[in-house]
Each structure stands twice: as C-alpha cells, then as structure tokens.
Chains A and B, each alone.
Chain A
Amino acid sequence: MLHIVNKSPTAARSLESCLRMALPGHAVLLIEDGVYAATAGNSSEAQVRAAAGKVKFFALKPDLEARGMTTRALDNVTLVDYGGFVDLVAEHGTSNSWL
C-alpha cells in the first residue's frame, strides 16, 4: 500500500494516524505541506526516523523546493519528482490519502 500525506506534521495529525496504521513494507509519500515531515529539526523527525525501519519514506522534491526545504531533507527519505509519484502509485496496489 502507498500512503500519501499532504498535511504538515505540526499542523495536523495525519502523519501520526498514517504511521499508526502503516504496516511493514508499506510506502509513505509526503507531498504538499506534508514534506515538512521530511525535514531535519522538525519536531516530527524522531517519529519519522523511528518509522523508517518499518516503512519506506518518499517526498515530492518539487514541494520541498517550493518551500525552501530541499537542503534540510532527511537522509532516510527518497526524493521523487511527479514522474516518480506516478511510478509509486503504479507500483503499489492501493493508494490511501490521509487528508
């Protein structure tokens, strides 16, 4: 399953709920304001690092760039472009958007 999170971890509980329900081997794609969860120093960093052993994290690079956050991206998050977003959706059976 591909979990998609588009809300900031410091403004909504979407990431928290997503990580509570994500199973080992699932992928989590951070997009829009969700990309702040992929940045070093954010209060959600420990949560993301802890879950990185269980799920694979991706973040949409254009959204990180728009927010000036590219250089702060965590090392255990893979950056993808829109083409990569399409590939992730195609690769995983079901997508779940945590709006």
Chain B
Amino acid sequence: MKKFMFINRKAPYGTIYALESLEVVLITATFDQDVSLVFMDDGVYELAKGQQTKDIGIKNFSPSYRALEGYDVEKLYVDADSLKARGLSEKDLLVPVEVLETAQMAELMAQQDVVLSF
C-alpha cells in the first residue's frame, strides 16, 4: 500500500480542478490505498458550508465530500493559515477535518509516496 496525497489549492466552480480532483480521489480509494486530502490556499473554499449552485447552472458537488467517509477516505487536512486568511474557521466547513499548522502539514507532505496537485 502506498501513501497518496491529493493537494487541493483552488476554489470550486471558477475552474474544474476541485471537481476533477474529487473524482480521482474516489477512484484511488477503490484501489485500497492510503489516501490523504489536503485543502490549502483557495482549496479551503471547496469545503465551505451552504453552497447553492442553482442560479449558476452548475451541479453542486459539495455533498460528495460527505460521502468520502463511505469510501474509507477519512484523512482530511486543512491548512490553518489558509483558513485564517479567508476569515474562515473549522465550523464553516461541511465535513470534519483536522486543521494543521504549517510545520505539521509540511511534515505530512514529506512522508508521502505519491502527491497529486490540483
């Protein structure tokens, strides 16, 4: 088993990266690997509660983050500094996550076998 990390750094809907990353995560999970998800920079916006996309005519994919647990993807990490710079806190997020300080996050990244960045 290899340690796979997905680093999400972009806001949802403005580009397709957030949705496509989620698709790849779900596929990787079915191969029974050790999967971690990191949300940093604008990537933290992917997890914002209360997304309502009806009026932009795009499917709201944010509920899928809640389904990750069902795929045994339970390692979700959020960068503390990125939350702070956007006026957000853990309670603004739609799934349980572990908020990490810079040093902890850097250490976690360095331990991975495969890193995929979106």
Chain A contact residues, CB within 8 Å of chain B: 6-8, 10-11, 32-33, 36, 39-43, 45, 61-63, 65-72, 81-82
Asked whether any CB of chain A lies closer than 8 Å to the CB of B48, the reply is yes
Can you list, as one digit per residue, whether each of B11-30 has a CB less than 8 Å from chain A (1) or not (0)?
11111000000000000000
Bound form: Cα–Cα A7–B15 in Å: 10
- Which residues of B (21-78) have their CB < 8 Å from a CB of A? 41-42, 45, 48-56, 58, 60, 62
| Partner of A66 from B49, B51, B86 at Cβ < 8 Å | B51
Chain B contact residues, CB within 8 Å of chain A: 10-15, 41-42, 45, 48-56, 58, 60, 62, 85-88
Q: Are B42 and A8 in contact (CB under 8 A)?
A: yes
Q: Are B51 and A68 in contact (CB under 8 A)?
A: yes
Q: Are B45 and A67 in contact (CB under 8 A)?
A: yes
Q: Are A42 and B86 in contact (CB under 8 A)?
A: yes
| Partner of A67 from B41, B51, B87 at Cβ < 8 Å | B51
Known: A11-B11, A65-B53, A65-B55. 12 other contacts (CB 8 A): A7-B14, A8-B42, A36-B45, A39-B86, A41-B86, A42-B87, A43-B85, A63-B13, A65-B52, A66-B13, A66-B55, A71-B50
Bound form: Cα–Cα A62–B52 in Å: 8
- Residues of B contacting A41 with CB < 8 Å? 86-88
| A32 CB to nearest chain B CB (Å) | 5
- Residues of A contacting B49 with CB < 8 Å? 68
Q: Are A10 and B41 in contact (CB under 8 A)?
A: yes
Q: Are B88 and A68 in contact (CB under 8 A)?
A: no
| B22 CB to nearest chain A CB (Å) | 16
A66 in contact with B58 given A10-B85, A11-B41, A33-B42 (CB within 8 Å)? yes
- Residues of B contacting A40 with CB < 8 Å? 87
